[in-house]
């Protein structure tokens, strides 16, 4: 299961972009390092609503954050191992980028 809550310019009312669009952006621009302090972009999903939500997302991983140099936000929940592995690797590679590291140092994070 893959649920994309947001993936695109801020929390727009339009349909979210697809997963390849997020991966492409992760390869081309730095994430905002502020998210290191609130889960480091990847956390076990914590349901906050109904019993149905709890059952639907049990055992899922939540990916969330935004980019430092553009107005682009993402929030998605999945239990698909290939998606989890791929996004985790892309996010960790993004955090190794020189521009990400420079932003992090300048922000004193």
* pLDDT > 70 fraction of the chain, expressed in percent and rounded: 93
Write out pLDDT tens, residues 22-65.
Answer: 999 999 999 999 999 999 999 999 877 776 677 888 899 999 99
Residue 13 has pLDDT above 70, yes or no: no
Residue 108: its pLDDT value, please?
Answer: 82
Q: What's the angle, vertex CA 11, arms to CA 16 and CA 19, rounded to 5?
A: 30
Residue 89 has pLDDT above 70, yes or no: yes
Q: What's the angle, vertex CA 16, arms to CA 15 and CA 20, rounded to 5?
A: 135
Specify the DSSP class assigned to residue 100: H
Residue 11: its pLDDT value, please?
Answer: 64
């Amino acid at each position: 299961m893959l649920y994309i809550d947001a993936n695109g310019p801020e929390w727009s009312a339009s349909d979210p972009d697809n997963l390849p669009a997020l991966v492409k952006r992760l390869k081309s621009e730095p994430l905002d390092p502020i998210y290191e302090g609130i889960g480091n972009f990847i956390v076990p999903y914590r349901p906050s609503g109904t019993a149905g939500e709890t059952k639907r997302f049990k055992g899922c991983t939540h990916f969330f954050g935004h980019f430092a140099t553009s107005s682009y936000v993402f929030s998605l929940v999945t239990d698909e191992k290939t998606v989890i592995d791929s996004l985790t690797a892309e996010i960790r590679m993004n955090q190794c980028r020189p521009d990400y590291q420079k932003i992090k140092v300048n922000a004193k994070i």
